Amino acid sequence: MNIKLLRTLKGIVLLSLLICASSYAQVQKITGKVTDGIDGGPMPGVNVSIKGKPSNVSTNANGIYTIQADPATDALVFSYIGYTRQTINLVGKTSLDVALTSDNKSLEEVEIISVGYGTKKRSEILGSVATITGAEVMDIPAPNIAGALRNRIAGVGVSQVSGRPGSAITLNIRNSTASETVAGATAEPLYIIDGITVDRNAFDAVDPSMVENISFLKDASAAIYGAAGAKGVVLVTTKRGKIGKPSISYNGYVGVSDASRTPEMLSGLEHATLLNDTYRLYNASESAFFSQADLDYIAGTNYKSWYDELWKSATTQRHNLSISGGSDKITFFAGGSYQNENGNYAGLKVDKYGFRSGLTATIVEGLKADIAFNVDHNLRKSQNTVSENDAGFFESIISVPRWVPISINGLPVNFNNGSPRNPLGVLQSGYYDDRKTQSYRVNASLTYQPKFLKGLTAKLQVSQGGGNSASTQYDPPYKLYNFLRVGNNSAIYSDQPDPVTPFFEAVTVANSKVMPGLSKQSSYQGFFTLQYAKTIGLHSLDIIAGGEQTEGSSEDLSVYWRNQLIPEADDYWAFDPNTLTRQSRNIFQSTKRSFFGRFSYDFDKKYLIEGVARLDASSNFASGNRWGLAPSIGLGWVVSKENFFKNNVSFVNFLKLKFNYGIVGDDRVTERLWQERYTIDVSNGYLFGSYNGNGLNPSVYPNPDITWEKKETINVGVEASLFDSKLDVGVEFFRNRTFDGFDRGANNRYPLYAGFTAPVVNYREAYNWGSEFSIGYRATLAKDLKLSTSINFSYGNSVVDRMIYAPGNLQENRPNEWLALSFGTDPRKYNSSNIGLKTIGMFRTQGEIDAFLLKNPNYTLYGNVPQPGWLYYEDANGDGVVNDLDMAPMFDNTNSYFASGINLNLSYKDFSLSTNILARLGGKVFYDSRARIAPSNTRNILNIWQDHWTPENPMAGKYPRFDDPSLTKNSDFWAVDGTTIRVNNMTLSYKLPAKIANRLGLGGARVLATGNNLWTLVNPLKYKDPYTSSAYDYPILRTISLGLSVNL
């Protein structure tokens, strides 16, 4: 019995060994060499993997690879950036050499990542759609994706208010506009991330390292998102897992940020001397002057300016760590990011944390599930009052006279009774304005492609998101300290405390305040689509239809307490409970329901037609006006496929003509303006005896007829690829007509005693039109030396054809009244900067004035008799005097005649240099109004004013006297040529050779140095950065960073 058992076991063991040996024999070492199909050189770093299996290796410095595979059944996949991916069956081979070919694809082959509910090849696109990859922008140390897109996409504008951390950076597509009088109306595009509509905050939170690509729908191709596509659509596709063994990637940088242009102000001595010159012209009393002893003292002081005391270089950093991998059955991706921007003075910073993950799995053949989850956490801290441009705080630290110290003996100085606030006093008081936001989103989809009906795809996608925010503003009591003033005009500070009034209460106990705020929001979106694609011979058909439901809600509450009873405690219980006051309370709800479809047909990929329609209902409008239709139609002709063209124009690889027409809508306006809403008034209600009772005031005057704003768009374009696909050219011509636009202009026609504002109505009508040009060139200049460059530029104009206005604004020729209407006029000519006085010159001497007055005896300048050193102007209306009624357009066109974004990329072996340049030629720019404010003993000014008229040298001096009554008025004197050339950013990178990377256990590595907002080579207004509106705003920041990108 035991012998039989032993024999049986022996047989099983031998059989197992034979099976194992047989299995082991199937997997063998496969070797080979990968070369460049153009020059035959070895290609290091090429990824070699087994199709459908989580196994991959990289070629070494000589292009050699070794991998374990089954030659009988396996296929190898060869991939490298910039080259065509190849999949080759081994069919019994144990040695396989491969030559990869460059993927300098023509426009016919390049795929658009997303066009809304699907993808298309560029050759099949009939609208105006532009794309950019995440890899193109992830190295730039910009605050967010929008900040890295400047001058990169034709027709996509980027606007940045200031360099302050957390300051808004917005996108605009084709100069979209919105009525400034309507709350909730916006000129921004619609943002879509992975098929789901989000707000700009969610778009800003996405780390560029996690972005696969971004598409911009600029015309009626946005009709597929008809509900809010009138201002264009930005489609973001984030990264997903890729087949292969798990791969860990790190991308990050650390940098230093400082002002790209530091405001240069007058020194203390220059400022005091300048004031003395002005006082002398005024014949001011002797007590107003700085004496010579005062001037000598000021020249010898070593006070730092308030700017130098507080401003410093700041660090910024961004880090992203992700993992990706999987098989042909399931892939995964997960990544976390951290971004930090420190402000350039104490207590100011923004931190952003993010996590995104995704899993895609084939459940059964034809049925695929995808689930993604992301969470974002943002933290903003500030120890000064918060605004987009930080003008109040920043202006205070640069405009205070240089002879005024920020502190004496460690005590913050009281300057001008706390106006402006001494920033050191604010920082030391414990003031803060902090905000933190948290948000999440779950996005899940099922895609079914049945075998029994090839070409059919059914997709269900559901997303749910939510978030909350909390803010606290704490404004405690604090004191500024008085010191004895000395000098002839008592402008100079001694170090002796004022014994009579030792301090000034900048914030009194009674006015101290703590203001907490809370908000929360949630939304869900779900859609179902059926798509059918079929090719029969030369005919291709693609139809998609679907329905969508979106709901959102939000609410917020903000209150404050005053009169701090317990010092240094920043919570509500430390304040007088009787001062509790509601700051704001809002509750919003919105719902949309949509049905949409798209029909595409082509014959031989030569003749193309596409139709899109979307029907939307929005709760922002009353029943009967809720539904809006957004249709579009596109036509295309690929001329390069015609035999007559192919046989005669060999240098053109691809040529397509396209046309698109459609109507898109917009419902983005304050919610439910069709409903009555009231606020409780506790002091102006009905009168009962001698007491006022509570009352209701209408906060919104309802308009039950309000409905969709609409935009009609026409787009005609040409796309071409020439000279073996080395040169790409794209040209677009468009015209947009906005009608039924949201308008609240009637508010200016209501009497002030009405007690309520006018309703929003559909009345405004506007046109804008233009052209866009994109040119790209790729070439190998020499062995290992490659060039890739592109340029985009555009032209355009607009006109408001209809709007509601108050007729009284046209009774007199006052620019500040009629210019606000801005309808029926060319904005290139009729804009606020270009309406002003036409300068004849500057009176240099009294003799010039006397001669002028002989011919113009009644001439006055804003009611004043001219003085030497003043400007003088044309009397446009001939009434003998110069004032605002003489203002008129100064130039026919203030726009540049050429403005472009230029991208250059030069690579040599493992080195790469890329840059983005703005080139704007011609046009006019104007000195901003704050640069023209006169100095005083409480306000310093820019040092450009050193070059001003003086009685000692009357024939010199560029600028007029400070008492010129027209100093702050627009005139062509303040206009300069707008030519600007600026290097926006530049990146120098080095890719570690594959041989070294492999020795270090890395799949690849790259080090890089990047600069953002680098240099302005030609600056029309040298006192400020061309991207900021004023030198008195928080400056645009130049950032220099060192980065690293590693794959394991």
Q: Which structure tokens are listed for 527? A: 């859609």
Based on the fold, state whether residues 42 and 77 are members of the same structural domain.
yes
Q: Tell me if residue 154 falls in helix, strand or coil.
A: coil
Amino acid 812: pLDDT: 64
Judge if 175 and 130 occupy the same domain: yes
Domain match, 124 and 227 both: yes
Beta-carbon count within 10 A of 867 CB: 16
Q: pLDDT tens, 587-625? A: 999 999 999 999 999 999 999 999 999 999 999 999 999
Of 188, 205, 240, the one marking the end of a domain is 240
Q: Is 815 left (phi over 0), alpha (psi -120 to 50) or beta?
A: alpha
CB atoms under 10 Å from CB of 517, counted, come to: 17
Structural domain contains residue 84: yes
Structure token digits, residue 254: 């650390």
Has residue 852 been placed in a domain?
A: no
**Residues whose CB falls within 8 Å of the CB of residue 543, separated by 6 or more in sequence, listed in order:** 531, 532, 533, 597, 598, 599, 600
- The Cα-based distances of 971 to 193, 878, 889, 968 in angstroms read 47, 18, 10, 9
Q: Whose CA is closest to 382, among 319, 414, 426?
A: 426
Angle between helices 268-282 and 292-300 (to 10 degrees): 160
Are residues 170 and 208 part of one domain? yes
33: in domain: yes
924: confidence class by pLDDT, cuts 50, 70, 90: very high
Q: DSSP letter at 959?
A: B
For all residues of the chain together, what is the average pLDDT? Answer: 89
- Residues 789-810 have a mean pLDDT of 88
Q: What percent of the chain has pLDDT over 90?
A: 65
CA dist., res. 117 & res. 461, Å (int): 11
- Of the listed ranges 416-425, 501-510, 548-557, the least confidently predicted one is 416-425
Residue 872, both tokens? 């003088």
d(CA 494, CA 482): 10
DSSP per-residue codes, 864-903: B---TT-EEE--TT-SSSBSGGG-EE--S--S-SEEEEEE
Question: Is residue 16's pLDDT more than 70?
Answer: no
Q: Same domain for 96 and 131?
A: no
Share of the chain above pLDDT 70, in %: 94
Q: Are 741 and 712 in contact (CB under 8 A)?
A: no
Map residue 727 onto helix, strand or coil: strand
Report strand pairing: 190-193 vs 75-79: unpaired
Tell whether 121 and 85 lie within a shared domain: no
Q: Give the pLDDT confidence of 456-494 residue by residue, as tens digits.
A: 999 999 999 999 999 999 999 999 999 999 999 999 999
From first CA to last CA, the distance across the chain in angstroms is: 57
Which stretches does DSSP call E strand in 476-502? 478-481, 483-486, 492-497
Specify the range with the lowest mean pLDDT, choosing from 121-135, 346-360, 674-688.
Answer: 674-688
Position 294 pLDDT exceeds 90: yes
pLDDT band at 644 (very low <50, low <70, confident <90, very high): very high
Residue 89 lies in a domain: yes
The per-residue pLDDT for 23 is: 39
| pLDDT per position as a tens digit, 141-189 | 999 999 999 999 999 999 988 999 989 899 999 988 887 777 788 889 9
Instruction: Provide the token pair at 50.
Output: 């087994």
What pLDDT shows up at residue 13?
A: 39
How much is the CA Rg of the chain, to the nearest whole Å? 34
- pTM of the complete model: 0.86
Whether residue 813 lies inside any domain: the answer is: no
Work out how many domains the chain is built from and give that number: 2
What stretches of 949-1032 show up as alpha helix (H) in DSSP?
994-999
Q: Which of 240, 267, 299 is the last residue of a domain?
A: 240
Return the H-helix or E-strand segment holding 228.
none
Q: pLDDT tens, 858-900? A: 999 999 999 999 999 999 988 999 999 899 999 999 999 999 9
- Work out the burial of residue 19: count CB atoms within 10 Å of its CB; fewer than 13 is exposed, 13-18 middle, 19 or more buried: exposed
Q: Which residues contact 203 (CB under 8 A, 6 or more apart)?
A: 144, 145, 146, 191, 193, 234, 236
Q: What is the dihedral of CA 400, 401, 407, 412, to 10 degrees?
A: -40
Residue 45 lies in a domain: yes
Of the candidates 668, 322, 297, 329, the residue with the CA atom closest to the CA atom of residue 494:
297
Of 392-396, 513-517, 567-571, the least confident:
392-396
DSSP annotation string for 683-706: SSS-EETTEE--EEEEEE---TT-
Which CATH number is 68's domain given?
2.60.40.1120
d(CA 595, CA 629): 10
Assess whether pLDDT exceeds 70 at residue 10: no
Mean pLDDT of 26-48: 80
Among candidate residues 100, 134, 160, the one where a domain is terminated: 100
Both 188 and 82 in a single domain?
Answer: no
Contact 269, 939 (CB under 8 A): no
Quick one: 120 and 82 in the same domain?
no
SS3 397: helix
Question: What per-residue confidence (pLDDT) applies to 622?
Answer: 92
Residue 164 domain boundaries: 111-240
- Beta strands, E only, 86-210: 86-89, 98-100, 111-112, 120-121, 129-133, 156-160, 169-173, 190-193, 196-198
Q: In 3D, which of 620, 824, 632 has the Cα closest to residue 229? A: 632
Q: Is 991 inside any structural domain?
A: no
Type of residue numbered 904: L
With respect to residue 414, please indicate whether it lies within any of the assigned structural domains.
no
Same structural domain, 140 and 162: yes
Peptide bond into 951 cis (omega under 30): no
Q: Are residues 187 and 229 in the same domain?
A: yes
CATH number at residue 120: 2.170.130.10
pLDDT of residue 819: 66
Q: What dihedral angle (degrees, nearest 10) is formed by the CA atoms of 386, 391, 394, 399?
A: -150
pLDDT at 304: 86
Nearest to 939 by CA among 368, 395, 264: 395
Length reported for the chain: 1048
Q: Identify the sign of the CA torsion 66, 68, 74, 76.
A: negative
Write out the two tokens for 794: 């555009």
Asked if pLDDT for residue 826 goes beyond 70, the answer is yes
Do 32 and 135 fall within a single domain?
no
Phi, psi at 362, each rounded to 5°: -90, 110
Question: Between 959 and 683, where is the model more confident?
Answer: 959
User: Looking at residue 818, what is its pLDDT?
Assistant: 65
Coil, strand, or helix at residue 845?
coil
- pLDDT bin (cut points 50, 70, 90) of residue 817 is low
Shared domain for 80 and 117, answered yes or no, is: no
SS3 at position 309? helix
Task: Specify the pLDDT at position 25.
Answer: 43
| Residue 207, phi then psi, degrees to nearest 5 | -75, 130
Q: Which range is least confidently modeled, 35-49, 252-266, 941-955, 1005-1019? A: 35-49
Q: Confirm if 128 and 229 have CB atoms less than 8 A apart.
A: no
- For residue 12, report the phi and psi dihedrals to the nearest 5 degrees: -65, -45
CA distances from 1022 to 456, 965, 979, 1016, 1027 (A): 61, 25, 12, 9, 12
CB under 8 Å to 788, separation ≥6 — which residues? 776, 777, 778, 904, 905, 906, 907
Q: What angle do CA 111, 732, 615 make, to 5 degrees?
A: 70
Q: Which residues contact 23 (CB under 8 A, 6 or more apart)?
A: none
> Which distant-in-sequence residues (6+ apart) come within 8 Å of 219 by Cβ?
127, 128, 660, 662, 713, 715, 734
Tokens of 766: 């506007």
Cα dihedral: 668, 674, 675, 679 (round 10): 70
Residue 711: how many CA atoms within 13 Å on its side-chain side?
A: 34
pLDDT, position 111: 59
